[in-house]
Structure 1
Amino acid sequence: MTPFRAIAVFYHVATLNSVMAAADQLGVTASAVSQQLRALEAQVGTVLVTRQGRRIRLTEAGERYFELISDQVEGLIRATETMRGTRTTATLTIRATPTVSTKWLLPRLPGFLDANPSIDVRLDGTNEPTDFARDPVDLEIRHGTGRWPGLHVLPLAEESFVPVCAPRLAPPRSIGPEDLVNFRLIQSLKAQVQWPAWFAAQDLPTPNMARRLSFDRSHMAVDAAVLGLGVALESTLMMERELAGGMLVQPLRDAPAIRITTQWLVCPPANLRRSRVRRFIDWIAAEARSWQISQSGPNG
């Protein structure tokens, strides 16, 4: 009979990707963890774990074995905590840009916290990409093209880039694209779609960009448009609340939006073995689908 302790040790090693981290969490020595792993491999008759420096990698058999036992082990841990009258929490560390964090994720986060009371969340708002080998980050919502070899990458949602302004500057659908020359143009320098590309998509020459206001953060460009400082070109994902609340409007009569995906869920494939990561991905994917459906209406 395979001892449960060896199975539990394997579970912790697999979720933490480290023998040392598993030993610290279990309160035992690293050599004791390695001994339990060897005993388990002898029981199942195959190699489950290989070492890469200080980190470990599951073999194909190890990945399969983890899939078979993870739900049962997590259920036993929860049952034991219930009987003891205790509750342990796991911390999920998410990295995202300040704009995504404040404009889209933060308003939705209470839903995840309510549905997952055993998970604490740390939200790291920065534009710096994560070095997963060094930074203690479980999952990143990364801005860019989606091409990061070696990482697990999922699109968050397709966004629409549209010109917007405060309603006092121009009422909804009251001007044409050619009239934008009369307005100050606001842009985020890091946005995937810039004004010259937008005008080119409308077969129009780019107007004199001397009358412009530039920021290095999209949330600042959105806030500047709300203040009536000009017309901003931004993603509907980043200004959902401002559009829904009427603080921003789309002033153009006829101007197709540019639709692309610029936000991606990114993590090492091994991080998907962490229950907290899988739960968050399932939750945020459902939120993104709901948001996408809401954008398909007559004003989407």
Structure 2
Amino acid sequence: MQRRSLPLSALRAFEAAARLGSFKAAAQELAVTPTAVSHQIRALEAQTELVLFDRQVRKVSLTEAGAQLYPVLRDGFDAFEATLTRLAQQRTRTQVSISATNAFTVKWLVPRMADFRRLHPDMDLQLQASDDLVDLRSTAVDIAIRYGRGPYPGLVTQPLFTDRFAPVANPRLGVTSPKDLARVPLIRFDWKRPKPENPTWERWFTIAQRPLPRQASQLRFSDEGHAIQAAVAGHGIALVSLALIADELEAGHLVQPFGPVIDGHTYHLAMHAGRPASAAVQAVAKWLRTQAAQRGLETHAQ
């Protein structure tokens, strides 16, 4: 029997009658008459040339052929029901998407997901990590975390916090003063958009009024998150965002042995100006602002 000729209504009637042991009970479940169930099953028996039920006065029982067919249909219909139920639940759950840089997503957003699920168990966050700017006008992204000074035309923005950078290292390196920078590798990462105001090692040494040690070896990465991991592993000293390494500092995996601490750019919460924010999007925006404030990252005056 080919798939396109399968008598689905008859198979459904057979599965119900086999499971309930009664044509009458099957008819009640399927909201049809017992006669209709009987006709469906007889049509199935005629098409398959098999006797599927032993019919008695007050009950029916499966034949050997019926007993082989029943569990296959039962498992199949159970799988249909479970999958459709799961899909319906997914459709009814509220989802809010956030776009942010790779480092911010991994080091700041992901560690806070447990708190979000605790506060909003009926809502899902979709995190889109990319160092490329996402156009909120042509995507389904609800909230973007912009890193810079702005302005951001076409977007409604709110500052979350101003980033601050300082030298940090694994305590095993024994770095205690700026003099140690001559013997410990400097860990760098590439800024996607080079600007004079970026918190680079060159800017740090200028503010610290110290010469850049030419003899020091260096490690360079394309991503700030990789630079942070290299510092945690003890490969050198890194000039990275204190906001992104708050957990590592608290756990003692990294230490900030000296200053100065220099300002980076500001993280902004951004939404499309022409798209009204739903209640769910507003709730996520409020949660992001609360998370920033709880860690003492209130916005510095610009």
TM-score, scaled relative to structure 2: 0.63
In the superposition, relative to structure 1, how do residues 202 and 269 fare at CA in structure 2: closer, same or farther (>3 Å)?
same
For 1:197-236, list aligned pairs within 5 A.
Answer: 197-208=203-214, 211-236=217-242
Q: CA deviation at 1:256?
A: 2.3
Distance 1:272 1:107 in 2: 29
How far did 1:188 drift? 1.6
Deviation at 1:260, TM superposition (A): 3.5
Paired-residue identity, %: 33
Q: Give distance in 1, aligned partners of 2:273 and 2:162.
A: 23
Take 1:259 and 1:240, find their aligned partners in 2: how far apart are those partners?
16
**How far apart, in 1, do the equivalents of 2:271 and 2:144 lie?**
6
Query: Counterparts of 1:41-120 in structure 2 under 5 Å?
Result: 88-120=92-124
1:218-297 equivalent positions in 2, closer than 5 A: 218-252=224-258, 255-292=259-296
1-side partners of 2:283 and 2:273: how far apart? 15
Structure 2, unaligned runs of 5 or more: 1-89, 193-197
Distance 1:209 1:148, change over 3 A: farther
Q: 1:193 aligns with which of 193, 199, 214?
A: 199
Q: Deviations over 1:254-279 (max 9, x none)?
A: x2201244322112123452112111
Distance 2:239 2:119 in 1: 35
Give the letter for the 2:154 counterpart.
Answer: G
Q: List 4+ stretches of structure 1 deviating above 4 A.
A: none
Q: Which residue of 1 aligns with 2:182?
A: 181
The code of the aligned residue for 2:185 comes to: R
CA contact (8 A) 1:88 1:118 kept: no
Partner SS state of residue 156, structure 1: strand
Residue type of the partner of 2:291? E
The CA distance in 1 between the partners of 2:189 and 2:267, in whole Å, is 15
- Give the residue type in structure 1 aligned to 2:139: D
Which residue of structure 2 aligns with residue 134 of structure 1? Answer: 138
One-letter identity of the residue aligned with 2:274: A
Larger Rg: 2
Deviations 1:102-157 (CA, angstroms, capped at 9, x unpaired): 11111112222222233221111111111112221001112233322221122221
Q: Answer yes or no: is the 8 Å Cα contact 2:97–2:142 preserved in 1.
A: yes
What is the distance in 1 between the residues matched to 2:251 and 2:276?
A: 37
> Where do 5+ consecutive residues of structure 1 fail to align?
1-85, 295-300
Give the TM-score of the pair, scaled to structure 1. 0.63
Q: CA deviation at 1:293?
A: 6.1
Aligned-CA RMSD value: 2.3
In structure 1, distance between residues paired with 2:221 and 2:150: 23
Match of 2:244, SS? coil
CA contact (8 A) 1:157 1:292 kept: no
Taking the aligned partners of 1:235 and 1:213, their CA distance within structure 2 comes to 17
